[in-house]
Amino acid sequence: MDAARRRAGHLTGHLTGKTDEDVVIVAAIRTPITKARKGGLKDTQADDLVACVIKGVLDKTGVAAGDIGDIVMGSVLGSGSQRANECRIAMFYAGFPEEVPVRVVNRQCSSGLQAIADVVASIRSGYYDIGIAGGIETMSSNPMAWDGSINPRISQHEKAQGCLLPMGLTSENVAKQFGVSRLEQDQFAVESHARAVRATETGRFNDEIIPVHTKFVDKKTGEERRIVVSQDDGMRKGLSLEKVQKLKPAFDPAGSTTAGNASQISDGAAATLLMKRSEAKRRGLPILGTFRSFSAIGVDPSIMGIGPAVAIPEAIKMAGLQTSDIDLFEINEAFASQATYSCKKLGLDLNKVNVNGGAIALGHPLGCTGARCTATLLHEMKKRGSKYGIVSMCIGSGMGAAAVFERE
């Protein structure tokens, strides 16, 4: 890594050790994550999901809506101008005054984490004292698609071509290049489901999930009814390795990535409330965690899944820590191939990784994921008495992102 990048890292990362200038998270919540097009939130509008979580963090802390300096929401698939408008609309649904601004950020699968990093940077810079950061995706309403034509110049640039590869093929590339077997991927997937089921049944997610009062339309009859969605619905109880191994490859007939060992397309939203430690102390608010460092690094687009293996070491270094200092990891399971590779490359203890399951079982609502993982991590760190944790993910078009959090 060149000297300029190292200097940039030291500017953005803060070493451990409490100060009143630390930016801390005092609330982190999420909606349930549900299956796109058939799950409990399939008929819920994006603005309703955003309103639910941004109001939720205020309700949990008693912070007045007018005290918020900015709201930043990650989103990937929603039309840029429309999603920005929806987030502004959501503010009014949630009771925010017109003076509070909002914006949307898109760094693909890390958008929710990027939103948190952006609010941290703004608070550190003195732009405002308190901010909300989160993410939203309604993959039922906004499917993955490429709008318009593709520039023919791309035929002259191999790296640029990699940016257009279907994500499933990048998973196949990781599996082939780094020798991740089909069996390893399927075992990883089955364990993800088992952990998510166990976490749900034991109430492990209760502190982070806010129920959503919404509507559900029966596709066959058109009947609309009111429901309350209070649990994730993607995980499968009792899923066996034998059943997963029977699934056919989804992207390459000779490949190993299947619907069973890849993340689910999903709907959901999440939000965090951030402020300086001095502000949290003044208000008497309990601190869930301190934001210590953030790293976003580019990688070869054709093997974009390796992103966490590159971003995690940089974020740890910026925080002045060693990998052995990290108690828990929330690494997005875009595909079992890339999650398995990243864990093996970094020599991680799998008992510390995605202890309550990951995106293979819970789902991956793209713009929400980074904020969802942060909420899951911080609440699990509190339950376990952990000191340091990491959120990380690979990013479509070839990047990785990671952030280090410290618990009080």
Token digits of residue 399: 């990047």
- Enumerate helices (H) and strands (E) in the chain, giving the number of each: 13, 12
The residue-averaged pLDDT of 302-323 equals 98
- Catalytic, 373? Answer no
DSSP lists the bridge partners of residue 273 as 27, 132
Q: Is residue 71 part of a domain?
A: yes
Find the catalytic residue in 52, 87, 193, 364.
Answer: 364
* Residue predicted with more confidence, 9 or 342: 342
Q: So what's the pLDDT on residue 9?
A: 41
Find the catalytic residue in 14, 52, 87, 109.
Answer: 109
Q: Is residue 181 part of a domain?
A: no
Do residues 48 and 87 lie in contact, with contact meaning Cβ atoms separated by under 8 Å?
A: no
Q: So what's the pLDDT on residue 326?
A: 98
* Tally of domains within the chain: 1
Nearest in space to 346 (alpha carbons), one of 391, 311, 299:
311
Q: What value, to the nearest 5°, has the Cα angle with vertex 257 and ends 251 and 259?
A: 85
Q: DSSP letter for 154, please.
A: G
| Residue at token pair 């399927």 | 186
Do residues 44 and 212 lie in contact, with contact meaning Cβ atoms separated by under 8 Å?
A: yes
Taking residue 168's Cβ as centre, other Cβ atoms within 10 Å add up to: 20
What are the φ and ψ backbone dihedral angles of 386, each rounded to 5 degrees? -70, 155
The residue-averaged pLDDT of 220-234 equals 97
Q: Is residue 315 part of a domain?
A: yes
Distance (Å, whole) CA 211 – CA 201: 16
Please state the pTM of the whole predicted model. Answer: 0.96
Q: Is residue 330 part of a domain?
A: yes
Do residues 297 and 317 lie in contact, with contact meaning Cβ atoms separated by under 8 Å?
A: no
Token digits of residue 306: 């390796």
CATH number of 361's domain:
3.40.47.10
Q: Is residue 205 part of a domain?
A: no
Distance (Å, whole) CA 13 – CA 27: 22
Burial string for 52-85 (b: 16+ CB within 10 Å, else e) reads bbbbbbbebbebebeebbbbbbbbbbbeeeebbe
Distance (Å, whole) CA 30 – CA 49: 9
pLDDT tens for each residue of 323-344? 999 999 999 999 999 999 999 9
Q: Is residue 37 part of a domain?
A: yes
Q: Is residue 378 part of a domain?
A: yes
* Residue 99 C-beta-side C-alpha neighbours within 13 Å: 6
What are the φ and ψ backbone dihedral angles of 131, each rounded to 5 degrees? -145, 160
Query: How remote is the C-alpha of 269 from its chain's centroid?
Result: 10
Token digits of residue 406: 């410290």
Contacts of 88 (CB under 8 A, 6+ apart): 102
pLDDT band at 80 (very low <50, low <70, confident <90, very high): confident
Please tell me the total number of residues recorded for the chain in this structure: 408
Task: Quote the domain boundaries for residue 353.
Answer: 1-143+263-403
Arithmetic mean of pLDDT over the chain: 95
The enclosing H or E element of 274 equals: strand 266-276
Q: Given a cut of 50, is residue 7 above it in pLDDT?
A: no
pLDDT band at 15 (very low <50, low <70, confident <90, very high): low
- Catalytic, 394? Answer yes
Q: Given a cut of 50, is residue 25 above it in pLDDT?
A: yes
Token digits of residue 56: 């939720």
Q: Is residue 286 part of a domain?
A: yes
